[in-house]
Copies of this chain bind each other. A is one copy, B any other.
C-alpha cells in the first residue's frame, strides 16, 4: 500500500473511534439531563458495552500496523496529516502500553472510589477515603511508568490533561503567584471597606433567569442551531460533536448571578467546541488542545469579559429590566463591584479570581508531595488545613469543607487541578493580546458587540485544533511564552481599583 492508502486507513479508523466517542458523550449528557432515575443500571451496562467496543477499536493491532506503516513516510505528508498521526500514535500508546490488569484495577477503583468518597464526605471521615488515595497513588505511579517512562510519575499524570507542561514549568509560576497573591488577599481581607453584595440575594423567577441566560449566551455567539442549554445538577459542557454542543446549568431562585455566570462560563467552553475545525474530519487535528486551554476559553468569557466593567455597563440595564425589584437603588458600578467581591472561602468552586489560584496551588503541592513521597496520605487533613490557613487565613471547620471537598481524587484524576489556574493565566494573556490587536474591544463589549471577540478567538485558537503544542499556540497568539506577570498585574490593577488600595 502507498503511504496515502495507509493514511486513509488510519483516518477511517480514527473517525470511527471519534464517532463512537461522540455517542458516548450523548449517553453521558442524557444521563445527567434526561434519563429517568430508574434507568441507571441499564445505562451503566450500555455504557460499559460501548466502552468495550471503543477500547477494542482503540487497541486494534491493525491500527498499530497502520501507524507502523506510516512511520517512514511521514515526511511525504502535510501538517494536518502529521498531526493526526502524532496524536493517534500517542493515544494508541496510552491505550496499549498499560497491562490489562492495571486498566481493570484502575477502572474498578474509579468506580468504587466515587461511592466511598461520597460517603466519606457525607460522614466527614477522611480515614475512610484515605485507602482509595493510597491505592490510586500506587496504581497511578505504575501507570505513569508504563505510558511515559521518560517522565516523572506526577508529570506523566499532568501530561494527560496538560500535554507538554511539567512541574518544571508549573512550580516557579505557582511560587510567583503565592508571593504576589497571598499578601494581596491579606490586605483585601482586612480592608475596612467591602463591596455591598446584599442586592444579589432576592427572588429571581426561574423563567426569567433562563431567558436572560439564553439571551447573553446567544449574544456571545452560541449557535443554538448546533447546540442547546438545559438543566443538570452540576453545570457542564457536553455534546457529541462541534455541531451538537450542549451546555447545562442549574437555577436557584435566591441567586441569579451563579447560574448566569455558569452559563457564561460554559458558553466559553461551547464556543471553543463549536469553533473546532471539524471540516478537517472527525479527527484528532480538529479536537480541542488541553484542559488548560479549554478552561482559558471559559474563563476568558466569564472572568475577563463578563466580570469586567464594560460588560456590566452594557448588561446592567438589561438585567435590571429582567429583575426590576432587586435593583431599584443599584447602578452598573455597584453591580460590578458586587460580583467581583474577593472573600476567602473554604470551597474551591465558590472562590473568586484572586483566591482561586491558592486553592489550586494547595492541591498541586499536595499531589506533588504525594507522588514524590514527601507527604503521607494520612497527614492530608492536617496539611490541608495548615496550607489553607497560610494561604487564605481561614480554618475549615471540617474535612468536608477541606480535604474531602473535590471529587477529582475519587476518580483518580491526579494532575488535573493545575489546568484551572493555567487556564486563568492563559485567558488573561490572551485578553491582553486582544486589547492590543483590537483597541476597540472594551467599547465593543460596552455595546454588546461580541462578534469581533468571538471571531478573534475562533481564528487564533479554536480553529487551530490540535495543530500545535500549548506552548507553541500561546507563543503564536501572544508572541511570547506564558507569563504570570500579566495575570498578577491584571489582578492588582482591577482589585486595587475596587478596594481603593494601591498594590505594588
Residues of A at under 8 Å CB distance from B? 15-16, 19-20, 22-23, 26-27, 30, 34-39, 41-43, 45-46, 49-50, 52-53, 223-228, 240-244, 278, 282
Q: Are B282 and A35 in contact (CB under 8 A)?
A: no
Query: Nearest chain B CB to A14's CB is how many angstroms away?
Result: 12
Q: Are B49 and A19 in contact (CB under 8 A)?
A: yes
Pairs A–B under 8 Å by Cβ, sample size 12: A20-B49, A34-B34, A36-B228, A36-B244, A37-B225, A38-B226, A39-B226, A39-B240, A39-B244, A42-B243, A42-B244, A43-B240
Closest B-chain residue to A49, C-beta based?
Answer: B19
Q: Are A38 and B282 in contact (CB under 8 A)?
A: no
- The docked-state distance in angstroms from the alpha carbon of A27 to that of B23 is 8
- The docked-state distance in angstroms from the alpha carbon of A227 to that of B34 is 10
Since A20-B49, A42-B244, A42-B282 are in contact, a sample of 15 more A-B pairs with Cβ atoms closer than 8 Å, ordered by chain A residue number, is A15-B45, A16-B49, A20-B46, A20-B50, A22-B46, A23-B50, A26-B27, A34-B34, A35-B244, A38-B226, A38-B244, A39-B243, A42-B240, A42-B242, A45-B282
- The docked-state distance in angstroms from the alpha carbon of A462 to that of B199 is 57
Q: Pick the 4 closest A-B CB pairs, nearest first.
A: A39-B244, A38-B226, A42-B241, A19-B49
Chain B residues positioned under 8 Å from A243 (CB to CB): 36, 38-39, 41-42
Query: Nearest chain B CB to A43's CB is how many angstroms away?
Result: 7
If A36-B244, A39-B244 touch, whether A30 touches B19 (CB-CB below 8 Å) is no
Chain B residues positioned under 8 Å from A53 (CB to CB): 20, 53
Closest B-chain residue to A39, C-beta based?
Answer: B244
Chain B residues positioned under 8 Å from A15 (CB to CB): 45
Closest B-chain residue to A24, C-beta based?
Answer: B23
Query: Nearest chain B CB to A226's CB is how many angstroms away?
Result: 4
Of B38, B42, B282, the contact of A223 (CB 8 Å cutoff): B38
- The docked-state distance in angstroms from the alpha carbon of A243 to that of B41 is 9
Closest B-chain residue to A50, C-beta based?
Answer: B23
Chain B residues positioned under 8 Å from A52 (CB to CB): 16
Chain B residues positioned under 8 Å from A46 (CB to CB): 19-20, 22-23, 26, 240-241
Chain B residues positioned under 8 Å from A224 (CB to CB): 36
Q: Are B42 and A22 in contact (CB under 8 A)?
A: yes
Task: Find the residue from A16, A27, A39 having the highest chain B CB count within 10 A.
Answer: A39
Chain B residues positioned under 8 Å from A34 (CB to CB): 34, 228
Task: Find the residue from A15, A30, A282 having the highest chain B CB count within 10 A.
Answer: A30
Closest B-chain residue to A224, C-beta based?
Answer: B36
Query: Nearest chain B CB to A334's CB is how many angstroms away?
Result: 38
Chain B residues positioned under 8 Å from A26 (CB to CB): 26-27, 30, 46
Chain B residues positioned under 8 Å from A45 (CB to CB): 15, 19, 282
Of B19, B36, B226, the contact of A225 (CB 8 Å cutoff): B36
- The docked-state distance in angstroms from the alpha carbon of A495 to that of B378 is 80
Q: Are A226 and B36 in contact (CB under 8 A)?
A: yes
If A23-B27, A26-B30, A30-B26 touch, whether A241 touches B39 (CB-CB below 8 Å) is yes
Closest B-chain residue to A48, C-beta based?
Answer: B19
Closest B-chain residue to A230, C-beta based?
Answer: B34
Chain B residues positioned under 8 Å from A223 (CB to CB): 38
